[in-house]
């Protein structure tokens, strides 16, 4: 941890962020629906701000097998990296769902990374764009990239040997009808970015709740 410094969201801030992400994933689901042509259900996300180390642990506790992640960096009033993470065994299933199940297994393998990057882009973009929109700020995003490894590896790569940063950790159940697909969204931000996010959440709450806050 960077000097043990951390940031905690109040219950309301956490609720607000959850709702904003909820809107984001709803958009993402709607977009996915259009891609897959089948029903996509999403659970209400749960949110935690944890250290990178803890995030890696959280992932490896839940997922013992190898993981695949789609990564996109974002920049704006708050900057960081967004990761869409799911178990590797889900990834081909997701590709098949996205490609409509008309491809041969070999073809699925061939376009796996491309399809994953595209799917990740849809989901992460929906989330981040919604966040920017709801918080009345704008963010720019890089091109998605596919990573593989266990939880530790995914978060260590991003750590880059620097002090342990903070991770906004979201758990969302994606359920594509008749397919077992689940995933997580993680957003890595440094302390100043999280501080900014916290302030923007405060403004949002003020707008929504008014006197009742």
Residues engaged in binding other proteins (CB under 8 A)? 11-12, 15-16, 18-20, 22-23, 26-27, 29-30, 42-44, 54, 57-58, 61-64, 130, 134, 205, 208-210, 212-213
Report the residue number, 42 or 115, with the smaller CB distance to other proteins: 42
| DSSP bridge partners of 71 | 83, 145
Token readout for 54 is: 């803890």
Report the residue number, 6 or 18, with the smaller CB distance to other proteins: 18
Shortest distance in whole angstroms from residue 173 CB to other proteins: 10
Token readout for 175 is: 């359920």
CA-wise closest residue to 12 among 162, 211, 168, 209: 209
Helix segments in 40-184, DSSP class H: 52-62, 88-99, 105-134, 151-159
Shortest distance in whole angstroms from residue 53 CB to other proteins: 12
Separation in Å, CA 27 to CA 22, 43, 107, 200, 208:
9, 13, 29, 21, 20
Shortest distance in whole angstroms from residue 198 CB to other proteins: 15
Report the residue number, 62 or 148, with the smaller CB distance to other proteins: 62
DSSP 134: H
Report the residue number, 64 or 109, with the smaller CB distance to other proteins: 64
Report the residue number, 5 or 61, with the smaller CB distance to other proteins: 61
Report the residue number, 44 or 163, with the smaller CB distance to other proteins: 44
CA atoms within 13 A on the CB side of 150: 11
Give DSSP secondary structure letters for 74-87.
EESSS-EEEEEEEE
Shortest distance in whole angstroms from residue 112 CB to other proteins: 23
User: Backbone phi, then psi, for 172, in 5-degree steps?
Assistant: -130, 135
Shortest distance in whole angstroms from residue 212 CB to other proteins: 5
DSSP 144: -
Shortest distance in whole angstroms from residue 24 CB to other proteins: 8
- What whole-number distance in Å separates Cα of residue 49 and Cα of residue 188? 10
């Amino acid at each position: 941890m960077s000097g043990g410094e951390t940031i905690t969201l109040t219950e309301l801030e956490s609720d607000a962020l959850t709702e904003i992400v909820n809107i984001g994933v709803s958009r993402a689901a709607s977009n996915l629906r259009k891609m897959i042509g089948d029903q996509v259900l999403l659970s209400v996300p749960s949110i935690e701000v944890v250290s990178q180390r803890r995030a890696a642990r959280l992932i490896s506790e839940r997922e013992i097998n190898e993981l695949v992640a789609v990564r996109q960096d974002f920049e704006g009033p708050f900057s960081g990296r967004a990761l869409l993470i799911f178990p590797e065994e889900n990834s081909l299933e997701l590709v098949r769902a996205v490609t409509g199940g008309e491809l041969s297994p070999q073809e699925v393998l061939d376009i796996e990374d491309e399809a994953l990057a595209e799917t990740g882009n849809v989901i992460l973009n929906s989330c981040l764009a919604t966040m920017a929109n709801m918080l009345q700020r704008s963010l720019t995003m890089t091109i998605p990239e596919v990573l593989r490894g266990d939880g530790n590896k995914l978060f260590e790569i991003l750590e880059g040997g620097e002090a342990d940063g903070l991770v906004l950790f979201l758990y969302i159940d994606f359920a594509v009808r008749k397919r077992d697909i689940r995933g997580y969204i993680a957003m890595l931000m440094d302390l100043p970015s999280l501080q900014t996010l916290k302030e923007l959440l405060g403004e949002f709450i003020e707008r929504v709740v008014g006197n009742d806050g």
